[in-house]
């Protein structure tokens, strides 16, 4: 029972067969039926992560799961409990700062989610109760309530449509926030329901909640006095989904079937989890290595201390007698406390300040994206937005890009380009005096025949569609509501506004208007059109044979005033050509193929005159099939195929879905950078495939491997068997028989090999993810992934939002754990945006849910190129250098401290003064690396954008692998040894001062520290390729500050210090010429290997010739141009 309750709460499982029974209006059931009321969840939506009560413990738990935070907490507690050489403040303060800043940031983000939930849950809705319309808050809707929704309102839960104000008992909705399609979809009321809903007595039996947007099965029992209950089937066409919007319908009433977290929209919502970058994982790995070094140092020192003290006279010399308390202390406890003291003494090898610097670098670095004036879009008067600064460097490591199509790759704007009628090409802008452009000479007979066919073709365009004329036509500037954008074809005599259920249908109706045939609208099953002579023609609409992805065509059956019954059909060429007369095909095929290669969406148009007997059979068959409870789809398909045969081909159309600005160039640049692009869309396959060709993801020579419902339809074998057979066949062609591709070879250089494009739809993916029980699920997924990885591009169409997230998750968790990026503009893309390592929202026309849930938001797709290839590349290089540099400089810092223990009897005596220990990472060496990590450009942005292949050089975390880490570690050990033993060699001369006095241990440590600070700072100066005045200021300023601080700290007697170790030590040290000489020589010797590497290392790689172009000239400085306007900031580099 508990499991069932949890399943119900969490959305359950597609495979469940149990159903729910709902009483319409929540009234008691008639005595004839047994009805047990069920408990359903309320209509509250919860997307937040924390509550007031669990925020503190839950957030602290999440933060202390990070190795670094937990480690510093332990060190802080040790310093508090045990008597250690350093103060607890040195580790406690930075830890408190990092934890507090992170908690405030995450708390604010969750507060915004609470605020959004509150707005949704408190939204006022109208519910019918006891014959009255009652205003309620959305969260108080219960399953079974009859809800009233008016035009342009969003449905507050999943409803079954009971009543509509439209005469034909339909309503129109847009589902942009669910599947990305903002075109209008038609939904139908349940037949035979009472007009007076108060008198309606009915129960609904339907499946339990599941996330598939396109699937719904149920039935409705309608009870009438002294009659047998009527049973009506329910399908997706009766279900209105939460999040969809009512359009072109004044008012509807519907009964709530799924509420709150059980709605299909909620089941498709992927909860927001904290994302971690690959760099952070590398830091954790390096941290473990340095932790092992730290522990081994502490163990060695503790062991050698007790070995040394075991010698006679060493444990208790005459000048340092033990107290009674020390003598009574347990030896093992003393060894343990000594071990902890050494841990604290060497603790500075783990750079706590690195995490503060990394946080600052990420936070400040994110402003460069916000300020970049290239990201500013004048149309919406907005620039880029950074919601999460934690992932800046991940932008430079992307291996897979998952993109939505509608509104992301395209502008949601279809344009009629040309048509072909009976072999004649009609291109609107190429016409001269009304004559079409043709491929050959035109005889008078052909001209006459063409004109007859012309009118028939234009009538077909005006009748074969599901377009509606907007009822509110009195607006001054009417707009076509399809895919959320304006129509592009103004009508001179009158402005018309259309809505449609398919994105290309308005374009076709507008195309017919260009040639004199205007669709006037549908009223009471009567379609009216105006012909070239301005006469009104009226047709009775008898049936609509809807489009589906298997048939790939749609038809209408209409009746003329003279009584003739006509069938008009339009669809894909592969679907129409086998159903028309063969002799008619050749004249059209040439145009269709040419248009398809140009990336246009092509449709063929055919017609058929039905006899009275043919129509009677078709009419009876269609009515019976639509009422069937079992196998409804199969029965409808059989009737459709029976009617749509023996047609006459009239012509073809070419429609272009306008791409986003520079979409093709952006996709080419990403593929040149070695990034694989997958298109995940809820749209139809034909439209999506056409877009992929236009974006150059599929080329003319690309062989398409299709794994869709259509390819699985085989009467001889089961779908599951056919799926496995196709997978193995595609795997053999794309993987086994394909020659190996050399690393670094771009697509344009490997055209000799066959390129493959892979296409899969949502239904097939469902079958692939949930194969039969006796099948090997891992085999299906493994074959699928290998085929996809060997394809140049992958197209996934008819995807539900959760399926998009499943695809991303599957690739993300595949071998090698590739870095993934998802980009989309609609609420249907939120799940995949949250699932990917990096989520990008496009500020499109489908609301701002994608932007709110994304890590980064950009106005247009074209901005993705610069975001990844320039910003991402530079961010990664900067932070990788920052991480390696921090570990290196702290190793240089603490290695002399470790070596010093061998010369001080392992007494835990610090080599450096406490002020130096505290200030080293906070003041003396922090600002130069922070400036470097914000401003460094090892290559100019222009070069990075022009040469996409440079992105490959840093792929797969190249700068934070073990080899470069080992190089930095060896360099740190070499320089640490040089510092300590170089100064020790100096101290072998007893007379270092003019008066013959010797230096003490604090002078020793100060000389080592001086060499250390100058060496690590100059090392960074050697690594800097792009000098700005800021770099000069912080590098030379840090060194000057160190000298000033040392003089100041040692030159004054501070009253609050119990002991002043450095009083006049620094000034006294610099009075020795020997000390000066050793400091200069040791700095030069320490940097010598680095200087030799820079001089002797030859440039490598195919881009070495561009080295001069890569590096911005070191003599110039970067000027920040920050101009604040009312709406945006702009940022640019200029020399």
- By the 8 A CB rule, do 723 and 764 touch? yes
Backbone φ and ψ of 671, nearest 5°:
-70, -35
Burial class (CB in 10 A: 0-12, 13-18, 19+), 148: middle
26: buried, middle or exposed (CB in 10 Å: 19+, 13-18, 0-12)?
Answer: middle
The answer to whether the CB of 840 falls within 8 A of the CB of 858 is: yes
Q: Are 177 and 849 in contact (CB under 8 A)?
A: yes
Which of 212, 404, 480, 573 is an active site residue? 404
Three-state secondary structure call for residue 706? strand
Query: In this structure, are strands 518-523 and 526-530 parallel, antiparallel, or unpaired?
Result: antiparallel
Spatial separation of the C-alpha atoms in residues 1051 and 1048, rounded to whole Å: 5
3-state SS, one letter per residue, for 191-221? CCCCCCHHHCEEEEEEECCCCCCCCCCEEEE
End-to-end CA distance of the chain: 70
HSE value, Cβ hemisphere, 13 Å, CA-based, for 50 = 22
Neighbours of 477 (CB within 10 A): 8
Kindly report the number of other CB atoms within 10 A of residue 218's CB atom.
Answer: 21
Cα–Cα distance for residue pair 672/946, rounded to 1 Å: 11
Task: Return d(Cα 787, Cα 791) in angstroms, integer.
Answer: 6
3-class SS of residue 222: strand
The values of phi and psi at residue 194, to 5°, are -65, 140
Q: What are phi and psi of 230, to 5 degrees?
A: -85, 140
SS3 content of the chain, % helix, strand, coil (to 5): 45, 20, 35
Q: How many CB atoms lie within 10 A of CB 445?
A: 8
Nearest one of 826, 1064, 619, 690 to 179, comparing CA atoms = 826
What's the gap between Cα 237 and its chain centre? 31
Sign of CA dihedral 801, 805, 810, 812: positive
SS (H, E, C) 645-679: CCEEEEEEEEEEEEECCCHHHHHHHHHHCCCEEEE
Find all residues with CB under 8 Å of 217, minimum gap 6, and list them.
206, 207, 234, 235
404 is catalytic: yes
Judged on CB neighbours under 10 Å (0-12, 13-18, 19+), 290 is middle
Lookup result for tokens 């509150």: 118
Both tokens of residue 79?
A: 């310093």
Give SS3 for 250.
Answer: coil
User: From the CB of residue 369, how many other CB atoms can be counted at a distance below 10 Å?
Assistant: 25
Contact in structure between 345 and 85 (CB atoms under 8 Å)? yes
Q: How far apart are CA 111 and CA 108, in angstroms?
A: 5
Q: What DSSP line would sit under 382-417, residue for residue?
A: B--EES-GGGGGGGGS--EEEE-STTTTEEEEEEEE
User: Which of the residues are catalytic?
Assistant: 404
């Amino acid at each position: 029972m508990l499991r069932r309750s949890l399943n119900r709460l969490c959305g359950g499982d597609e495979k469940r067969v149990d159903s729910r029974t709902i009483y319409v209006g929540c009234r008691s059931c008639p005595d004839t039926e047994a009805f047990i009321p069920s408990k359903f969840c309320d209509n509250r939506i919860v997307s937040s992560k924390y509550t007031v009560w669990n925020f503190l413990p839950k957030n602290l738990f999440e933060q202390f799961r990070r190795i670094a935070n937990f480690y510093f907490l332990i060190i802080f507690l040790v310093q508090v409990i045990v008597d250690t050489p350093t103060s607890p403040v040195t580790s406690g303060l930075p830890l408190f700062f990092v934890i507090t800043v992170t908690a405030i940031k995450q708390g604010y983000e969750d507060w915004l989610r609470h605020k959004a939930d509150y707005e949704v849950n408190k939204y006022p809705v109208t519910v019918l109760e006891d014959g009255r319309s009652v205003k309620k808050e959305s969260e108080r809707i219960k399953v079974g309530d009859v809800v009233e929704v008016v035009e342009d309102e969003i449905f507050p839960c999943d409803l079954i449509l009971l009543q509509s104000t439209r005469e034909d008992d339909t309503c129109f909705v847009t589902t942009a926030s669910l599947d990305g399609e903002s075109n209008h979809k038609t939904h139908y009321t349940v037949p035979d329901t009472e007009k007076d809903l108060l008198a309606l007595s009915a129960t609904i039996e339907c499946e339990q909640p599941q996330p598939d947007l396109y699937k719904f099965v149920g039935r409705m029992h309608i009870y009438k006095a002294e009659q047998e209950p009527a049973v009506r089937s329910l399908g997706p066409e009766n279900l209105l989904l939460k999040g969809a919007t009512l359009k072109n319908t004044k008012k509807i009433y519907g009964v709530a079937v799924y509420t709150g977290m059980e709605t299909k929209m909620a089941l498709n919502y992927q909860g927001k989890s904290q994302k971690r970058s690959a760099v952070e994982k590398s830091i954790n790995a390096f941290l473990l290595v340095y932790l092992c070094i730290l522990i081994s140092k502490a163990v060695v020192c503790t062991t050698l201390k007790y070995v040394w003290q075991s010698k006679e006279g060493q444990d208790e010399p005459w000048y340092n007698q033990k107290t009674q308390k020390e003598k009574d202390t347990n030896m093992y406890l003393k060894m343990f406390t000594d071990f902890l003291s050494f841990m604290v003494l060497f603790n500075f090898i783990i750079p706590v300040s690195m995490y503060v610097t990394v946080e600052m670098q990420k936070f400040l670095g994110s402003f460069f994206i916000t300020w970049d004036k290239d990201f500013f879009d004048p149309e919406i008067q907005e620039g880029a937005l950074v919601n999460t600064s934690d992932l800046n460097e991940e932008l430079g490591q992307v291996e897979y890009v998952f993109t939505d199509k509608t509104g992301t790759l395209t502008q949601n704007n279809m344009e009629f380009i040309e048509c072909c009628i009976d072999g004649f090409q009609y291109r609107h802008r190429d016409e001269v005096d009304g004559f079409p452009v043709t491929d050959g000479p035109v005889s008078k007979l052909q001209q006459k025949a063409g004109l007859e066919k012309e009118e028939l073709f234009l009538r077909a365009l005006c009748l074969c569609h599901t377009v509606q004329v907007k009822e509110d036509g009195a607006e001054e500037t009417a707009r076509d509501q399809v895919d959320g954008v304006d129509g592009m074809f103004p009508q001179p005599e009158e402005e018309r506004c259309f809505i449609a259920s398919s994105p290309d249908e308005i374009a076709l109706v507008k195309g017919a208007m260009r040639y004199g045939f205007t669709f006037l609208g549908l009223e009471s099953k009567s379609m009216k059109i105006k012909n070239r002579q301005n006469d009104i023609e009226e047709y009775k609409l008898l049936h609509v044979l809807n489009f589906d992805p298997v048939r790939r065509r749609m038809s209408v059956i209409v009746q003329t005033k003279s009584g003739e019954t006509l069938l008009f059909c339009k669809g894909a060429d592969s679907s129409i050509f086998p159903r028309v007369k063969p002799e008619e095909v050749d004249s059209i095929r040439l145009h269709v193929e040419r248009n398809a290669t140009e990336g246009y969406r092509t449709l063929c148009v055919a017609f058929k005159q039905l006899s009275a007997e043919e129509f009677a059979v078709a009419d009876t068959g269609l009515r019976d099939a639509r009422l069937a409870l079992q196998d409804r789809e199969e029965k409808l398909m059989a009737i459709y195929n029976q009617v749509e045969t023996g047609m006459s081909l009239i012509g073809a159309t070419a429609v272009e879905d306008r791409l986003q600005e520079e979409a093709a160039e952006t996709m080419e640049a990403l593929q040149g950078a070695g990034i694989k692009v997958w298109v995940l869309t809820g749209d139809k396959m034909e439209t999506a495939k056409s877009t992929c060709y236009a974006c150059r993801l599929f080329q003319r020579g690309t062989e398409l491997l299709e794994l869709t419902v259509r390819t699985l339809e085989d009467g001889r074998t089961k779908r599951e068997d056919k799926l496995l057979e196709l997978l193995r066949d595609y795997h053999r062609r794309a993987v086994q028989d394909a020659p190996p591709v050399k690393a670094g070879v771009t697509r344009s250089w490997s055209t000799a090999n066959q390129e493959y494009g892979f296409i899969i739809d949502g239904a097939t993916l469902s079958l692939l993810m949930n194969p039969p029980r006796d099948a090997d699920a891992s085999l299906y997924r493994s074959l699928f992934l290998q085929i996809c990885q060997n394809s140049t591009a992958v197209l996934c169409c008819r995807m539900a939002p959760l399926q998009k997230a499943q695809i991303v998750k599957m690739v993300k968790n595949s071998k090698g754990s590739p870095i993934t990026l998802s980009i989309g503009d609609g609420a249907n893309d939120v799940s995949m945006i949250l699932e990917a390592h990096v989520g990008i929202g496009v500020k499109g026309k489908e609301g701002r849910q994608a932007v709110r849930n994304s890590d980064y938001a950009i106005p247009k797709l074209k901005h993705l190129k610069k975001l990844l290839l320039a910003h991402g590349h530079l961010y990664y290089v900067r932070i990788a250098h920052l991480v390696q540099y921090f570990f290196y400089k702290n190793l240089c810092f603490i290695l002399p401290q470790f070596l010093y223990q061998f010369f001080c009897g392992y007494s835990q005596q610090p080599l450096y003064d406490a002020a130096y220990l505290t200030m080293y990472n906070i003041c003396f060496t922090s600002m130069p690396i922070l400036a470097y990590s914000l401003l460094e450009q090892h290559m100019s942005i222009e070069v990075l954008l022009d040469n996409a292949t440079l992105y490959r050089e840093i792929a797969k975390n190249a700068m934070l692998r073990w080899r470069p880490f080992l190089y930095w570690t060896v360099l740190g050990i070499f320089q640490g040894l040089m510092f300590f033993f170089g100064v020790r060699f100096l101290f072998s001369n007893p007379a270092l001062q003019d008066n013959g006095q010797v230096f003490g241990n604090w002078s020793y440590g100060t000389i080592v520290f001086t060499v250390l600070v100058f060496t690590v700072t100059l090392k960074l100066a050697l690594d800097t390729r792009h000098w700005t005045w800021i770099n000069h200021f912080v590098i030379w300023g840090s060194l000057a500050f160190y000298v000033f601080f040392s003089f100041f700290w040692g030159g004054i007697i501070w009253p609050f210090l119990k002991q002043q170790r450095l009083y006049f030590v620094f000034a006294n040290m610099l009075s020795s010429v020997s000390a000066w000489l050793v400091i200069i020589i040791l700095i030069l010797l320490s940097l010598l290997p680095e200087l030799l590497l820079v001089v002797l290392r030859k440039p490598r790689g195919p881009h070495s010739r561009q080295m001069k172009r890569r590096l911005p000239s070191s003599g110039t400085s970067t000027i920040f141009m920050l101009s604040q306007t009312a709406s945006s900031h702009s940022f640019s580099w200029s020399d």
